[in-house]
Amino acid sequence: MRKLLLYIIGIFFALNSFANACNFRIANFGDPKENIQLNSKYPEPLLLPDRFGGENLIIPIEEVCEASQNLWGTKLIYLYVDNKLSRIQLYRPLMEDRNLMDFAMLKYGKFNLPEGMPKTRWRGNNIWDKNLEVIEYMVTDIHEGHVEILEIVNKLYLPTIENYNEKVGKWLDSGQ
């Protein structure tokens, strides 16, 4: 009985350390992009301004979470609107695993998948409402495959993101 209890406790700590191993939050919501401090052994992150008033700072997850090899290939995208961090995304395209799903479930809570369906075939989303943040995990099809996205928005910046998304939507609808 003691061995079983120790085994269960060990599994719990291993899973918990997996979820906490990658601290991808290297800036706080509302902070300017100039506050980002990265390891100097990597090249500067890519900063892409867009036509909707935003700037996307794109960082390979390997630069922030070196030890979390199961997430390598994921892009960390910080969206700045009016030079304030407004949204954090983890973007993982074309991977045959569901490592980002596993990470999200361990960090924010499990959600049910359809019975009998392998998680690699599942498409959909789940939303967590945690304190001051709204977190959404989604899997959707893209050209040549699928993408996993984990998106975090502070509730104070929801109007900013809604306005930004409305501009993007109008542009997409225009077909330009």
Question: What pLDDT, in 10s, does the model give residues 47-66?
Answer: 999 999 999 999 999 999 99
pLDDT for 9 equals 55
pLDDT for 42 equals 75
- H helix intervals, the chain: 2-21, 61-64, 99-108, 158-174
Looking at the 3D structure of the chain, how many domains does it have? 1
pLDDT for 1 equals 56
Half-sphere exposure of 49 (CA within 13 A, CB side): 4
Domain extent for 77: 2-174
pLDDT tens per residue across span 69-127:
999 999 999 999 999 999 999 999 999 899 999 999 999 999 999 999 999 999 999 99
pTM of the model: 0.84
Beta bridge partners of 47: 57
